Copies of this chain bind each other. A is one copy, B any other.
Amino acid sequence: MGKIYLRNIFLNGQLSDIFISNGVIRSIMPAGGEFKEVGADVEVVDCEGKTAIPGFVNMHTHAAMSLMRGVGEDIAFHEWLDRIWHIEEKIDEEYVYYGTKVACLEMIKTGTTTFNDHYWHMPMARKAALEMGLRPVLAYVICDRNTPEESERQKVQCLEMYEEAQNWPEKSMFAIAIHAIYSVSEPMMLWAVDFARERGLKIHIHLSETEKEIEDCKALHGGMSPVEYLDSLGVLGPDVIAAHTLWLSPKDIEILGKRGVTCVHNVNSNLKLSSGYKFLYNELKEAGANICLGTDGCASSNNLDMLETMKTSAMIQKAWRNDPTAMHMEDVLAMATENAGKGLGLNIGKLEEGALADILIIDTDNYSFLSPGSFLANLLYSAHSDCVDSVICQGRFVMRNRVVPGEKEILKEARNILKKLEL
């Protein structure tokens, strides 16, 4: 990994120089100072008044579903799910590989540098993500559908994959996904939690996504909500990343706060599938939960654009709370960056000395940023992700001037896969 010296770049409103080596931000200085380390092994990039922000972190997605955009539009949830399952019966390792490649292509172009993935064929997803230069958090997905044979198979496979992961070099992270309380048996859930905690792995779970999930859980578990049920089993803690957490009682919120759970809001998926829209941001924040943002998979939302997710999250809060001051801009950016670093236990999401060098170089020389408004206001509310000019992930450029190496080839290969599988 080389050394990069970003010159004349705005950082928190100050024209700065940023020096990166071995994937880490080594120093941040006022622009124009003398810099001693410049040598033949340092790439100097003049950023000409562009602005640096941390790479976005997509805290809940199913990356390979990028090849399932638009397969079920304007239809009811069950019909939608049938279509997804029909496709998932056909998919294989190659599909996951190219699906993840396409997902990474989109994530790079829209400014995401780390993604928390929840899908099958993890080794292929990992191969794709690392080839593209991104940082994947890859979960082994536990989903036994209450069949003991499947539980046993998954236990064996999970251990195998974990052992294989011991040989992974840096820049990818192994996690455990528990699909959801309705799709994983209680003994299997407990096994998975023990497995994760013994090894210090994060636990990624779908939680309280739909009203039906709440009702079914209460009927099955003596009136307990999904949050109460999980808490009664000792599942919840600061190592848990819970996707959705949309239907919550005051007691649920208190529990999620007390346990320091990371709650991931997936606004576009929730809107489009009519899961609900009253995400209890203020209440969860007040209770002490760590709140992040995700896009969910492309079959539901239908893209991986974190900037769109950020804007929509804030707009919906303002609307349903009837309060234009709800969810401040600084909070929105934090949810997409530093809160995610905290949730994953990684030194990402902040541009400061010692942090991993995940940097977006934003081009503000366009109409979106032409106003007396602040950079952040224009970024969140006016601009689109095409303002992301260049992307650095762990000290390496993965996009320069909106060019991602190999783009056309990736699209071509993905089209071939879709054709081959008759999708």
Contact = CB atoms under 8 A, between A and B. Distances in A.
Q: Give the interface size class of chain A.
A: 35 or more
A316 B271 contact: yes
Contacts of A105: 367
Given A75-B324, A365-B411, A272 B318 contact: yes
A69 B373 contact: yes
A318 B384 contact: no
Contacts of A305: 384
A372 interface: yes
Given A70-B382, A302-B381, A370 B102 contact: yes
**Complex copy number for this chain:** 2
Interface stretch (A25-33, A158-166, A171-179, A273-281): A273-281
Contacts of A386: 384, 386
B271 A319 contact: yes
Contacts of A324: 74-77, 80, 272-274
A73 B329 contact: yes
Interface in A33-86: 66-71, 73-77, 80
Contact of A371 (B70, B315, B383): B70
Interface centre among A102, A106, A302, A418 (most CB of B within 10 A): A302
B415 A370 contact: yes
Interface centre among A75, A305, A316 (most CB of B within 10 A): A316
Contacts of A302: 373, 377-378, 381-382
B69 A377 contact: yes
B73 A274 contact: no
8 contacts: A67-B370, A69-B382, A70-B374, A73-B377, A270-B319, A367-B411, A370-B414, A372-B418
